[in-house]
């Protein structure tokens, strides 16, 4: 027979405001097994915990129930209290009378009644609780970073700095991500490449970092500390070890008409290419979709000109299996498609471009070698119109994205300012709904665009853009003047909303990491655990978690690295004590549990059993690897013979709780 | 409940529009082909209904300048549907006693060879009780 203590918390007025805590404590005192019952203002305080410890000693408690907030808040606290007083921590149950009771009820009578029922339920469970001891699992001291943009690079550098090996898996032939495509960065206007490429070089030269470019994660198994990841290294038809990156092949390749994705299709590249001059690794890649040799077997120019002999047309995709202790998702973002917003004539005119295209157009290494000209006729534009919030802040998925893309206000101010600075003969108009510039030196930056550079900021949205002859007729609202205005512009720049990279959704499925409706990764807690995924061992870095600018991305990347390091320094991880176990006498060997287990924790073994008639029989029975089991309980539901049970949440305990609720 | 509160409620109910969804971007007015003809512009309709300032709208000729082309409805990023508000205010006017804007007797005078019959039917539906 258990000797149970009950402790009812007021939580100030949070609970005591709608629940008569004294009545709850009095009612629960009469429940079977209860030998002590009390209430207190804050059970989680030091004084409250001391009260529990004293009661354990004075009344020889074998277990206790705390009627308080959600177990997500303080279950760990009270388990520690139990341990400090010599009790097994799994002899503690929490009755959630705050989130599930006082916060949702307004009537004291109803609230109190429900709190008593919840307390009675927890007591029924403690009556059947048994002491549990968690197992331990080893930690593979190595991290995987998925995505090689500024977020992934920073996370990898910081982890490597602490002495742990890191692999960066990047789908593109080079690391660098979106930042490599950006010309200048706000609010300091320093050149993006000048601050990014040294970091790329650092990553390449760091002997703890391995860069797996042109590769994809195709499968993830295991759990925190012990992930097993399958990585596909796509065939680049060039031997990475031998290629010197001289670039001769990229000059001689006769296939010249491949749209250059690095310049967003505004110019062309060859079928064998190096994305940009500072690419890392600086090796050529053959684009199999365009290479004549790979498609028809006739050509071979690149192999002929390669002095290093690095070209290998027979190369195949390579599948590798690697073990990691922690995984960081850093899959980044993309601008959304402008197709649904044809009122802006993006598909009708080459002179309607997105902001990222403008970055390439202004970049010295871009399609126009930094000449700011119209894509249609190569003429210098004089009137430029910027449209903000294209596809951001929309109601419903049919219109666009519901969220604010966060970075557009600042980069538009940057673009407007740079254009006015370099070409004072231009008129620049920015149509805005709101200018959102929170951030260090951000609003000052925007004000400079207006006050020093004479950028015309107009409150209102553009309704439509009509290509008319040489120019683009922009019809827009000037809300403050209460006018509809027409501007004949030479160039229109759309601040396209950003969305998570398409690879994020399948990756989240592999990682069993949760996502929001917009496919951004969800953090474990929006305020207090912003760089961790709710899945243990999976961390978040950069824009895959939400729209972010570079400074914020780098901060989050370093924060994720700190969390990874905190995990990798541990030699052993304490496992969950509430794991599944199989009653071998009842197991019929059907393998159902093995099939439903998402963690691969269940195996089958042949075992000898003594039968009642003194003969022996070999039977196939399930065995749970307790270091691998995460206690999800799927097997206990699937088991047709009722052999599987979850420790701490056994079928008996759950049924006792149901009985207590229904009493 | 005051008269203007009642009017507002009637207009919100007949239009099915929630003006609180508006983020005041002005794309409705930017896109409106009848903008210059209208005393009150589409974005003002949304704001004035929201604040309950409906009587000036009811007196305004703007009600009959709206082409019901639904460009504002199509392009509104917040799905506010301003044209439906204009329609609802127009309905509120013609439902008032003597609110007819178009009488069947007037039609013969308006007939002209280029006008499709459907326009007449539609105008009757829109402007008369």
Domain holding A100: CATH number? 3.40.50
Q: What are the tens digits of pLDDT across the range B69-107?
A: 999 999 999 999 999 999 999 988 888 877 777 888 888
* Residue B30 to residue A476, Cβ atoms within 8 A: yes
Averaged pLDDT of chain A: 95
Report how many domains make up chain A: 4
Q: Residue A505: name the closest of A491, A495, A517 by CA.
A: A517
Q: Is residue A165 in some structural domain?
A: yes
- A479 contacts in B (CB within 8 Å)? 24, 26, 29, 43
**CB-count exposure of residue A314 (10 Å: 0-12, 13-18, 19+):** exposed
Q: Is a pLDDT exceeding 90 seen at residue A654?
A: yes
How far is it, in rounded angstroms, from Cα A629 to Cα A635?
10
Which of B25, B32, B75 is opposite residue A433, by nearest beta carbon? B25
Residue among B31, B33, B65, B71 with most chain A CBs within 10 A, to mutate:
B31
Element (H, E) at A289: none
Is the domain of A305 the same as that of A175?
yes
Q: What are the tens digits of pLDDT across the range A399-448?
A: 899 999 999 999 999 999 999 999 999 999 999 999 999 999 999 999 99
Q: Is residue A134 in some structural domain?
A: no
- What stretches of A529-596 show up as alpha helix (H) in DSSP? 550-568, 592-596
Averaged pLDDT of chain B: 90
Q: What is the ipTM of this complex?
A: 0.86
* Token pair belonging to B91: 């309905």
How far is it, in rounded angstroms, from Cα A561 to Cα A155?
5
Q: Is a pLDDT exceeding 90 seen at residue B109?
A: no
Q: Is a pLDDT exceeding 90 seen at residue A263?
A: yes
Most confident region among A141-145, A586-590, B58-62 by mean pLDDT: A141-145
* Token pair belonging to B119: 């326009």
Is the domain of A397 the same as that of A436?
yes
Q: Is a pLDDT exceeding 90 seen at residue B124?
A: no
Q: Is a pLDDT exceeding 90 seen at residue A575?
A: no
How far is it, in rounded angstroms, from Cα A148 to Cα A320?
18
**DSSP 8-class letter at B42:** H
Chain A, 366-395: which have a CB under 8 Å from a chain B CB? Answer: 389, 393-395
Q: What's the pLDDT at B75?
A: 94
Residue A346's domain comprises: 334-499
Q: How far is B25 from chain A (nearest CA, A)?
A: 5
The percentage of residues in chain B with a pLDDT greater than 90, rounded to a whole number, is 63
Domain boundary among the residues A568, A594, A618 is at A568
Whether the bond into A114 is cis, omega within 30 of 0 = no
DSSP helix, strand, coil percent of chain B (3-state; round to 5): 60, 0, 40
CB–CB of A191/A365 below 8 Å? no
Q: Residue A484: name the closest of A455, A462, A454, A457 by CA.
A: A462
Q: Residue A328: name the closest of A50, A485, A523 by CA.
A: A523
Q: What's the pLDDT at A398?
A: 82
- Fold classification of B3-96 is Fumarate Reductase Iron-sulfur Protein; Chain B, domain 2 (1.10.1060)
Q: What are the tens digits of pLDDT across the range A503-539?
A: 999 999 999 899 999 999 999 989 999 999 988 899 9
Q: What's the pLDDT at A612?
A: 87
Q: What are the tens digits of pLDDT across the range A157-167?
A: 999 999 999 99
Q: Which of the four pLDDT bands, split at 50, 70 and 90, describes residue A341?
A: very high
DSSP helix, strand, coil percent of chain A (3-state; round to 5): 30, 25, 45
Query: How many angstroms from the chain centroid is the CA of residue A174?
Result: 22
Q: What's the pLDDT at A598?
A: 79
User: According to CATH, where is 1.10.1060.10 located in chain B?
Assistant: 3-96
pTM of the model: 0.85
Q: What's the pLDDT at B119?
A: 81
Is the domain of A553 the same as that of A595?
no
Q: Which of the four pLDDT bands, split at 50, 70 and 90, describes residue A308?
A: very high
Is the domain of A310 the same as that of A360?
no
Is the domain of A11 the same as that of A119?
yes
Q: Higher-confidence residue: B120 or A260?
A: A260
Q: Is a pLDDT exceeding 90 seen at residue A463?
A: yes
- CA distances (Å), B10 to each of B17, B20, B50, in order? 11, 16, 12
Instruction: Give mean pLDDT, residues A621-643.
Output: 91
Q: What's the pLDDT at B121?
A: 82
* Residue A484 to residue B29, Cβ atoms within 8 A: yes
Instruction: Give mean pLDDT, residues A539-556.
Output: 97
Q: How far is B77 from chain A (nearest CA, A)?
A: 5
Closest residue in A to B40 (Cα–Cα):
A482
Q: Is residue A154 in some structural domain?
A: yes
Other CB atoms within a 10 A radius of the CB of residue A539 amount to: 30
């Amino acid at each position: 027979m258990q000797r149970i203590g009950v402790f009812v918390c007021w939580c100030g007025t949070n609970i005591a405001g709608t629940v008569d805590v004294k009545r709850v404590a009095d009612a629960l005192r009469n429940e079977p097994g209860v030998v002590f019952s009390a209430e207190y203002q804050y059970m989680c305080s030091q004084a409250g915990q001391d009260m529990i410890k004293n009661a354990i000693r004075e009344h020889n408690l074998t277990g206790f129930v705390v009627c308080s907030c959600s177990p997500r808040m303080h279950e760990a606290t009270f388990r520690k209290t139990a341990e400090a007083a010599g009790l097994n921590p799994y002899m503690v149950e929490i009755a959630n009378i705050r989130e599930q009771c006082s916060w949702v009820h307004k009537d004291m009578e109803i609230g109190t009644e429900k709190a008593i029922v919840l307390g009675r339920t927890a007591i029924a469970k403690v009556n059947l609780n048994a002491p549990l001891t968690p197992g331990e699992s080893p930690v593979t001291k190595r991290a995987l970073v998925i995505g090689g943009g500024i977020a992934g690079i920073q996370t990898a550098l910081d982890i490597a700095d602490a002495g742990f090996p890191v692999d960066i898996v990047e789908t593109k032939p080079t690391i660098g991500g979106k930042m490599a495509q950006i010309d200048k960065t706000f609010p300091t206007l320093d050149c993006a490449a000048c601050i990014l490429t040294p970091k790329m070089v650092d990553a390449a030269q760091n002997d703890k970092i391995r860069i797996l470019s042109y590769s994809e994660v195709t499968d993830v198994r295991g759990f925190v500390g012990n992930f097993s990841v399958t990585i596909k290294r796509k065939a680049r038809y060039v031997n990475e070890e031998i290629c010197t990156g001289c670039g001769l092949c990229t000059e001689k390749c006769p296939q010249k008409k491949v749209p250059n994705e690095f310049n967003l299709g505004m110019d062309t590249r060859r079928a064998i290419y190096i994305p940009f001059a500072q690419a890392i690794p600086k090796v050529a890649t053959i684009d199999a979709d365009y290479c004549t040799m790979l498609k028809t077997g006739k050509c071979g120019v690149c192999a002929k000109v390669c002095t290093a002999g690095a070209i290998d047309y027979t190369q195949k995709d390579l599948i590798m299996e690697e073990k990691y202790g922690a995984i960081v998702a850093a899959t980044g973002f993309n601008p959304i498609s402008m197709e649904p917003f044809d009122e802006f004539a993006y598909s009708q005119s080459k002179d309607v471009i997105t902001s990222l295209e403008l970055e390439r157009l202004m970049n010295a290494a871009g399609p126009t070698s930094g000449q700011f000209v119209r894509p249609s006729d190569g003429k210098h534009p004089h009137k430029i119109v910027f449209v903000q919030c294209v596809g951001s802040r929309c109601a419903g998925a049919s219109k666009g994205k519901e969220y604010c893309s966060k970075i557009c206000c600042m980069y538009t101010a940057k673009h407007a300012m740079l254009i006015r600075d370099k070409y004072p003969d231009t008129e620049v108009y920015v149509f805005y709904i709101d200018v959102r510039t929170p951030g260090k030196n951000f609003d000052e930056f925007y004000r400079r665009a207006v006050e020093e550079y004479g950028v015309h900021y107009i409150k209102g949205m553009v309704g439509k853009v009509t290509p008319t002859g040489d120019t683009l007729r922009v019809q827009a609202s000037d809300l403050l003047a209460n006018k509809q205005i027409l501007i004949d512009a030479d160039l229109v720049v759309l601040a396209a909303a950003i969305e998570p990279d398409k690879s994020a959704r399948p990756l989240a499925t592999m990682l069993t990491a949760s996502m929001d409706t917009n496919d951004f990764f969800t953090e474990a807690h929006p305020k207090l655990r912003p760089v961790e995924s709710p899945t243990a061992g999976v961390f978040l870095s950069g824009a895959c978690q939400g729209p972010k600018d570079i400074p914020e991305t780098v901060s989050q990347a370093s924060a994720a690295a700190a969390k990874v390091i905190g995990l990798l320094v541990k030699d052993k991880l304490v496992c969950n004590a509430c794991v599944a176990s199989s009653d071998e006498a009842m197991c019929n060997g059907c393998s159902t549990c093995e099939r439903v287990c998402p963690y691969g924790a269940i195996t089958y073994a042949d075992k000898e059993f003594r039968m009642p008639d003194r003969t022996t029989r070999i039977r196939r029975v399930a065995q749970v690897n307790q270091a691998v089991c995460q206690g999800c309980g799927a097997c206990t539901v699937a088991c047709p013979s009722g052999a599987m049970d979850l420790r701490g949440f056994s079928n008996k305990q759950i049924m006792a709780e149901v009985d207590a609720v229904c009493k | 409940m005051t008269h203007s509160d009642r009017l507002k409620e009637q207009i919100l109910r007949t239009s099915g529009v929630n003006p609180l969804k508006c983020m005041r971007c002005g794309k409705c007015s930017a896109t409106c082909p009848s903008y210059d003809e209208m005393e009150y512009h589409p974005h003002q309709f949304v704001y004035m209904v929201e604040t309950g300032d409906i009587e000036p709208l009811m007196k305004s000729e703007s009600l009959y300048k709206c082409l019901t082309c639904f460009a504002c409805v199509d392009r509104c990023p917040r799905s506010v549907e301003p044209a439906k508000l204009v329609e609802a205010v127009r309905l509120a006017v013609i439902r008032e006693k003597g609110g007819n804007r178009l009488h069947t007797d007037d039609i013969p005078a308006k007939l002209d060879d280029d006008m499709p019959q459907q326009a007449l039917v539609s105008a009757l539906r829109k402007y008369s009780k």
